[in-house]
Structures are given as structure tokens and as C-alpha cells.
Structure 1
Amino acid sequence: MTEPAPERQGGHAKPKQARSFWKELPLLIGVALVLALVIKTFLLQAFSIPSNSMQDTLQIGDRVLVDKLSPWWGAEPKRGEVVVFHDPGGWLPEQDTEQNVVQSAFSFIGLMPSADEKDLIKRVIGVGGDTVECEKGGPVKVNGKSLDEPYLFPGNAACDDKPFGPVEVPDGKMWVMGDHREDSLDSRYHQETDGGMVDVDKAVGRAIVVAWPIDRMGPLPVPDTFEQDGLAGGVASATPAALGLVGAVPLVLWRRGRREDAVTGESAGQQSIKG
């Protein structure tokens, strides 16, 4: 079957018209959602802080962006990092986590945290091969070195509410503690289950920045105390959906530009024929 001949004006093919922005909008949204899903799965994910356990570093309602790329490349949590990890088992109480359809959709693409995932956020104090301990009235020690912990919640002692150790951290495990020591059911309180250890495989990723609210935006660096000899270790204000939108815009504009260039070239060719 032969295709119908293109409409002609004055003996020449009618120039193609570039699509309007509104016709391109569905494509822009679609690409943004796909990129957002990829970003959430492999790069960054937003998490909401639900408790006081990491005060004053993190407050209830803060949104943090978590680096999910490093674990994909085999990187393991390091001392001093603030890490999000899946519940090792029994650390979180059972609760109603139902979401409506809209909330579930937004959680799926990374616009809001998911209520279905049971995740915690703590600071990594010890990793595989370390010995951690803390006597009442004293500092936390890692491999015999005392930690200076300026991030502790004001008025809190290092471990007076729950002294521990010495405890040896097995390979593939980590010992985690909240910055608000007197309001954090961390590794100290779960020594009956796997010694209070968390599998590094449970780590979702490192919280790298407070992205919301605006007046609290800022990075979450590793404190200097973990950089002392013998302890040093290597190592969104946008949600994945927003990052996806940023990534989609150049792609759509590039596509529009190519179409407009093609139209312009065609029109120029017709003009030369007319001449």
C-alpha cells in the first residue's frame, strides 16, 4: 500500500510544525518519573525522621537524602557515618503502616518516604574487627581510643543509661548508637539478639544531607573524632522525583531542538528550490 502524498503548498511539501510545550509535557513527566524511579532505586532516596533518637543532629520531621549508590559498588558503612538500615529483627514495634493509593504511588517514585519499609537511622560507632566499650561516667571507646562526641544531645552522657562492653564487632557487622543516647534503643539495648549487631547487608545507605526543612539544610559529615589515628576510614535539597525532572528537561529540550532544526532545514531547502 502506498502512503498518501504529503500536503503541498505552491508545489512544495508543507513544513512540519514543532510540537507545543503542552504536547511535550506528558513526555517530560514520563521521563521524569522513570528517572525518579531509577534515582530512588540506585542513587538517592529521601527518608523522614520519625523519632528523637538522633537529636540534635536530626529532628523529627527532617528529610534526609541517603546515598544508595555506594552500597551497590560494595562500599560498607564506616565509623561515624549516619546510616539508614533495615530493621535487623524486633528493633521496631509493630504498627499500622497503611497508605492510601496516592501516598503509595508517591512513595514508589520517591516523592515521599514509604510507610511499608521498616528502617532505622543511627550513627555507626564500630565496624567489623573493632572492640567497642563504654563504662558509666566515661566516654565511648573504640579499639581503646576515646571518642569526643560533640554531636550528643545536650545533657546526655556517653552511655550512663546503658553501659556496655567491651564488645568485639564481627566481620560483616556494625555497632550503631543514636546521638540522643538517653532516648535511643540502639545496639546497647539489643545485645540479646545477635549481640546488638547489625548486618552491613541491612544498610540502605549513608545519610549525606538534611534536605528539608530549608532552615536545617546541610551536610552530615563524619565527625573529626573518627579521623584520629587508628580510627580513620574512607568514607536530596531535592527528592528523587525532582532530580528526575532535572534530568528529563535536557533530554526533552534536546529532542525539541533536533525537531526544530529539522524543520528549519527543510524550510531552507524549500526556499532554495523556490529561488
Structure 2
Amino acid sequence: MAVGARSGHDGPEDRPSGDGIAREAAGDGGSGGGDHPPGDVPGDDSPGGGGTAQRKPRSFWKELPLLIGIALILALLIKTFLVQAFSIPSDSMQNTLQRGDRVLVDKLTPWFGSEPERGEVVVFHDPGGWLEDTATPEPNAVQKFLSFIGLMPSAEEKDLIKRVIAVGGDTVECKKNGPVTVNGKALDDKAFIFEGNSACDDQPFGPIHVPEGRIWVMGDHRQNSLDSRYHQELPGQGTVSTDEVVGRAIVIAWPVNRWATLPVPGTFDQPGLDAAASAAVPGALGVAGALPLVFWRRRRLTSGRTAG
């Protein structure tokens, strides 16, 4: 169930090095420059007084280590801050993702404070105890280096990939034979869950109130995914801290015949899904409307005491 990390980025193209600026200087008989013998003109680098100089380009083999170094640094920066590739080793996200797919994960937007949203497919670190029974092979030194710079999957990291169903402040629930509901609104998940699967008949749950700063996640292959439903006994009661989220999976990059984007299903855009926020609006409006009345009454009482 662990999702191995891998990313790669081609280095800059080999470009010929610049030749510099050729300069020419010649004496002027009317300016006293004729006192210099041929070939000894100030600024003339050529023995015969041709007046041009050309810097010899650096050998390709001397530039190759520099190009490789730049490419590795760029790959590391891209993996760390921008985009990272992850491989899918299990069937828990079928049919959206298949075993062997490579997905690109957006790691940039979380740096600007972006939080996971309902319906997004996200990669996150094991919150603790989710993958404790999953063995990881011991990589050699070369594998460790290549995985460090993102050129091959990491054999040591234990990451998971699931779909965000509910976010902080939401109440999520699923009864046997029923749909998943978020804030009382039923989700039409037939468009993305595995064909023939029920919404949660294998593991009904809820109602669960998701704390702020955490998310509730489920696999699209509901009957083959050990997701939030199966970890309610752990700290967090099955929810995942947003601090553990690596980023959002945005596209299937490999194999080429599987290339596709990973948009948010339309059911997560239905009106009224933000019931928690919507319920707060009337209360906020009521407080805003009451404030002028409170100030008016306070001012009237103060004026009455002054007059007395």
C-alpha cells in the first residue's frame, strides 16, 4: 500500500560556450600611433597584428561534469519543491489508478498554504500504524542516492494515496447499504469507485466529526482499501493531519496509454455540501445585525445616567 516516490527531470541542453567579444585596435598615423612597430600595437593579441582574438571553447568532456551537476541539483529542487513522481503498487485506488501507474504530485501549492480539498487524490505519509505490517526492502547505496534526487522510487518511505472525502469541520458518515454523506449530503460516488463496489458495506462508520487541520480519506476500490475507516482506533480516529500530506496527484504520467488528469468529481461541487460553513452564515449575520442595536441601547442608557 506504500507509494514509492520517484521523480526525474532532464538537465539543460548542451549549448556551445560563448566566443567572447573580438576586439580590434590599430594605430592612426595622425595620432602618434605610428611609432609602434607592426605586431606591437596596443590591444592587439595576434602576433601578426591582425587585431582579433578568439577564446578557445572549453572541451565538451570538461563541461560534462558541470552539466551533470546542474541537472542533479535541478532534479533535487524540483522533487523537493515543485513536482514529484510516485508509483502505485496496489489496487486500492482502482479504477482511477492502476497498479504500476506513475502519478505526478503537485508539491508547490502546499508551500503557499493550500489545504487538501474534498475529492482530491492526495499522497500522504503514513500517519502512524497504517503500514506497520508492510515490509520494505533494504536499498543499496546507488538506489538510496537515486531515490534521494528523485530519479527512482524510494524503497524506504511509506506513503499512501487516497481520495479526500471530508475536511476539517465536516461530519462524515456511511451506514450499511447507504451512501457516504458529508454534512448530511449524499455523495454520488458511482462515477469514480470501483465497479461493483458498495459505498461502505464492508466497513460502515460514523458519524465522524473531522477535526480542523485533518482529513478523512478513502480508496476508490472500497472493498480493497484499508483507509480511514479501518484506523479509527489509532490517534486521530482514522483522520490524517494535513501536515502529513505530500501533495495532490494531478496527472497519470506513465504508462503513456494511461495518460490522464485527475480532476475533482462533480459530486463534491454540489450545493450545500459546505453545510458547516453555511450554518455559520446565519449566525454571523444575526450577530452583525444585533451589534447596532446593542450600541444604540448602550448609548441611550449612558445618556440617561448623565442626564440624571
- CA–CA distance in structure 1, aligned partners of residues 208 and 227 of structure 2: 14
Are 1:153 and 2:191 matched, yes or no? no
TM-score calculated relative to the size of structure 2: 0.70
| Root mean square deviation of aligned Cα | 1.8
Asked if the contact 2:219/2:225 (under 8 Å) is kept, the reply is: yes
Instruction: Give the corresponding residue for 1:19.
Output: 58
Match of 2:240 in 1: 198
The whole-number CA distance in structure 1 between the counterparts of 2:230 and 2:170 is 19
- Indicate the residue corresponding to 1:166 in structure 2: 207
**What residue identity is the alignment partner of 1:79?**
R
Q: Residue 79 of structure 1 contacts residue 231 of structure 1 at CA under 8 Å; is this kept in 2?
A: no
Question: What are structure 2's unaligned runs of at least 5 residues?
Answer: 1-42, 275-308
Alignment-derived partner of residue 141 in structure 2: 101
Q: Contact 2:136/2:156 (CA < 8 Å) preserved in 1?
A: no
What is the CA deviation profile of residues 225-256 of structure 1, one whole-angstrom value per residue up to 9, with x for unaligned ones?
11111337xxxxxxxxxxxxxxxxxxxxxxxx
Tell me which residue corresponds to 1:53: 92
1:241 matched residue in structure 2: none
Rg: which structure is higher? 2
Aligned to 1:33: 72
Question: How far apart in 2 are the matches of 1:147 and 1:101?
Answer: 47
Structure 1 partner of 2:306: none
Mapped pair 1:186 → 2:227: yes
Deviation of 1:30 (Å):
1.6
Distance 1:64 1:50 in 2: 12
Q: Which residue of 2 aligns with 1:260?
A: none
Contact 1:137–1:159 (CA under 8 A) maintained in structure 2: yes
How much does 1:84 deviate?
0.4
SS at match of 2:77: helix
Per-residue deviation at 1:70?
1.2
Tell me, yes or no, if structure 1 residue 116 matches structure 2 residue 156: yes
The whole-number CA distance in structure 2 between the counterparts of 1:18 and 1:145 is: 68
The structure, 1 or 2, with the larger RCO (C-alpha pairs under 8 Å, 6+ apart) is 1
Tell me how far apart the structure 2 counterparts of residues 120 and 107 of structure 1 sit (CA, whole Å). 17
Q: Which residue of 2 aligns with 1:254?
A: none
Segments of structure 1 that go 5 or more residues without pairing to the other structure are: 233-275
Q: How much identity, in percent, do the aligned residues show?
A: 69
Does residue 134 in structure 1 map to residue 164 in structure 2? Answer: no
